[in-house]
Structure 1
């Protein structure tokens, strides 16, 4: 009987990434390799998973804006902790930068963390799986921002749109190797994130949806685990929108007009 799966999660220290780590650890006893740039917060997560779930957790502190760090991450985890079964690219940054104030450095850092790093990690995973004759699953964390722009987020929105296409492109090329690549696109999720803080005013404005509540990390983690599991073995190249229906439409608008006009009733 196969042992527990080895799940590598980037952006693992808090928020959605932490929720994904916790669900894999608690629901199936998965071995977790947790990756984040924040060493103290990452250590707190690992300690909590060990204490609450007896989890086997490894920690890698890395800034994925650096090409070398991203390119070497998968190989390091595979070498030090054994073959990886699931990769979750959850690391992402969301600065607030008005378009007319955007610098090349600000733009590049967002693209490097949010798009280039997942590409490099996924490519390394595909090579490792092919060399070992193993199958695997990648789940990228996208965003509703891929479909709808927001003030101060041109770099972020662009990166998430690119990540969705990267998901499809990787699925096409890695599918014949037995590696599935999918994405989960969250709506607004309530997290306490020092990396990507938002105001309550912003949260209120962006979180309206037909189901009437904000998302939780567990909502996203459940979708990730399903996509990475056997029940989704014929699913690849897709984006699952877990957003309370926000991408279907908004409940934040009134009826456009009360009643009907003469032309409409004629």
Structure 2
């Protein structure tokens, strides 16, 4: 392996799942700050086009194609990024797949692929970055993109929900183990975000159902990207092991249920209390 390149001024940010949606917005948010960005995803024209757009912000940008379902590819990703632009200071694990399949029809192969991409890849990249930064004696930050599905089961998403719940516990475990080395590990948990993903398409009915929240709109990729940038930045320097829920208030409660009572009943209003006491 070639020696690591000297890191340029500013941070080097490695983002997985970068070709579209939230991942692309995260890359753009860091490029706006002048960070060097290494964008990783499956080989595609979208990945190439993203890197070309990032160049307009004046910082270096690199495409790093990889299939994170391949354990060897995931384990080698951080070192490959370091060869391109020096060791990453920030890792954003944004790669994820969500093939909707009822649990009774689930295959072992599909279950394993979702866990491999959504959880195992994040474990391998995080461990690789921790080794690199610990050996160098430098701090860093890892941000995992989880989901409200980690807390709420939904039809056809047993594999996805399990993977995101596991990713949240992985976040806490990494925070405990890597914290003494100055490496912060947190998660951002989006609610439904409009991304028009070719990898994870959704129907209009599904989008309308999961977009219901107290703020009355679905999220946008930029909403998530700004939060990721903050969590990874110096203003959050005492934050680690946390999961930031960014969902328009969906995890707080629902506005979708109708009012189910006509008013106070007599007992609720305290009617007859005196007689009962006496």
Instruction: Please give the range of the TM-score, normalised by the shorter of the 2 chains.
Output: over 0.9
Which residue number corresponds to residue 94 of structure 2? 90
Is residue 70 of structure 2 the alignment partner of residue 66 of structure 1?
Answer: yes
Shift of 1:91: 0.3
> Does residue 178 of structure 1 match 2:182?
yes
Aligned to 1:14: 20
Partner of residue 171 from structure 2, selected from 167, 173, 177: 167
Give 1:264 deviation, angstroms.
Answer: 1.4
The alpha-carbon deviation at position 260 of structure 1 amounts to 2.0
1:210, distance to aligned residue in structure 2 (A)? 0.7
Residue of structure 2 in register with 1:113 after alignment: 117
1:244 is paired with a residue whose SS is coil
Output the CA distance in 2 between the equivalents of 1:46 and 1:54.
12
Matches of 1:116 and 1:173, distance apart in 2: 17
Q: Residues 213 and 255 of structure 2 are in contact (CA less than 8 Å); yes or no, is this contact kept in structure 1?
A: yes
Residue among 28, 41, 45 paired with 1:40:
45
What is the TM-score with the length of structure 2 in the denominator? Answer: 0.93
Query: What's the C-alpha RMSD, in Å, of the aligned pairs?
Result: 1.0
For 1:8, what is the secondary structure of its paired residue?
strand
Q: CA deviation at 1:213?
A: 1.2
Deviation at 1:214, TM superposition (A): 1.0
CA-CA distance at 1:123 after TM superposition = 0.3
Gap regions ≥5 residues in structure 1: none
Partner Cα separation in structure 2 for residue 198 and residue 133 of structure 1: 44
Q: Does 1:156 align with 2:131?
A: no
Instruction: Tell me what 1:31 maps to.
Output: 36
How much does 1:103 deviate?
0.3
2:218 corresponds to: 214
Give the aligned partner of residue 195 of structure 1.
199
Q: Alpha-carbon deviation of 1:57?
A: 0.8
> Which whole-Å deviations, capped at 9, do the CAs of 1:15-53 have from their partners, x for residues lacking one?
000000001101x11100000014221001111222x32
1:122 aligned residue: 126
Aligned counterparts, 1:221-260, within 5 A: 221-260=225-264
Deviation, 1:263, is: 2.2
SS of the residue corresponding to residue 87 of structure 1 reads strand
Post-superposition offset of 1:4:
1.5
CA distance in 1, matches of 2:207, 2:40: 27
Query: Corresponding residue for 2:274?
Result: none
Residue aligned with 1:7, SS: strand
The whole-number CA distance in structure 1 between the counterparts of 2:206 and 2:247 is: 16
> TM (normalized to structure 1)?
0.97
Q: After TM superposition, which residue ranges in structure 1, 4 or more long, deviate above 6 angstroms?
A: none
Distance apart, 1:235 and its partner CA = 0.3
**Separation in structure 2 between the aligned mates of residue 263 and residue 158 of structure 1, nearest angstrom:** 44
Of 202, 209, 212, the match for 1:205? 209
Give the 3-state SS of the residue equivalent to 1:192 in structure 2.
coil
